[in-house]
Amino acid sequence: MKPVIFGLSGPILSTDERAFFAEARPAGYILFKRNVETREQLRAMTDSLRELEGREDVAILIDQEGGRVARLGPPEWPSFPAGPAFDALYERAPMSGIEAARANAHALALTLAEVGVTVNCLPLLDVARADTTEAIASRAYGREPMRVAAMGRATLEGLRAGGVVGVVKHMPGHGRALADSHYHLPTVTASAEELEEDLAPFRTLAGAPMGMTSHIVYQAWDADRPATLSRIVIQQIIRERIGFQGLLMTDDIDMKALSGTPAEKAAGAIAAGCDVVLDCWARMNEMQAIAAALPDITLRGRERLDAAMSSVGKSAGDLAELTAKRDALLALA
């Protein structure tokens, strides 16, 4: 098995993809809007991935946060609110905000499990600030570490109740970035003492099954390399100071914050200590180069992947009841 999660080019597996994936044996797959048409089509695609892998617990990821980041949407799927909606309710009634976040995540998981998706890249544990880039501020749970952690925990619990694995992101914190790492490399100049605030939600939820790195330079820790490529940040900050021992994946390796070829970036992330690389764009030549550049997944990485995928049970719950509960609570705000 190669330590990489690959994207898919369209709504069905192509012949070339099927042959390549059978040989490369990636650690998982990630879905985007280009892969989605109907419930029946999406279930057929995820079933084909399980058939290809010969097992049921394949990591099939999606970014279904709600709001601006949603791969499944109307009219085929319901829309879901993003983090700031729960932040606003928490401001008025903290326990109601937490319960609304839990019900929302449970409902989200039911819609994903129905079509065979097993992992959702949620929750964000980034602590927002007044000047946080809109790419994060429009999705975050708020500006207080305790609040972010509480709603992050509720989200993980809701996803798990619906049979879906959650991913905490973007480690070790994206809230101080003033630029969008999809297009630029942000540099954070805060001191190590100030950055403790950003670490707090991740430390609280250090037992999460999966986590995702940020493509950000933190001058206090490693002025030369972004977190994804920094052994210092991954080992000393994420693994030791935060205490995270789950499966650690990169954010999309193709984001413009990182320089170099996809294969170079992928190899650099694995060498720095990431368990798996996330490559989202399904460009066959790039996927082939990444697979050739990477060693097999480490024994510890495979153990973390297996533990994450076995951390949830069967999907259970009533979608209508959960969304009605969430909406009634959000109406309080």
Catalytic residue numbers, as ranges = 182, 251
Q: Is residue 333 classed exposed, middle or buried when 0-12, 13-18 and 19+ CB atoms within 10 A define those classes?
A: middle
b/e per residue 88-122 (b: at least 16 CB within 10 A): ebbeeeeebbbbbbbbbbbbbbbbbbbbbbbbbbb
230: left (phi over 0), alpha (psi -120 to 50) or beta: beta
Q: Phi and psi of 240, rounded to 5°?
A: -95, -60
Task: Enter the DSSP assignment of 80.
Answer: -
Start-to-end Cα distance in the chain? 47
Using an 8 Å Cβ cutoff, are 76 and 39 in contact? Answer: yes
Measured torsion, CA atoms of residues 73, 78, 83, 87, in degrees rounded to the nearest 10: 150
Q: Phi and psi of 149, rounded to 5°?
A: -65, -40
Measured torsion, CA atoms of residues 116, 70, 125, 152, in degrees rounded to the nearest 10: -60
Residue carrying structure tokens 């990169």: 250
- The tokens describing 244, both together, are 């995270």
Using an 8 Å Cβ cutoff, are 202 and 234 in contact? Answer: no
Query: 152-155 long-range CB contacts below 8 Å, 24 or more apart?
Result: 152/123, 152/124, 152/125, 152/201, 152/204, 152/205, 153/204, 153/205, 154/98, 154/99, 154/101, 154/102, 154/105, 155/101, 155/102, 155/104, 155/105, 155/122, 155/123
CA distance 147 to 19: 46
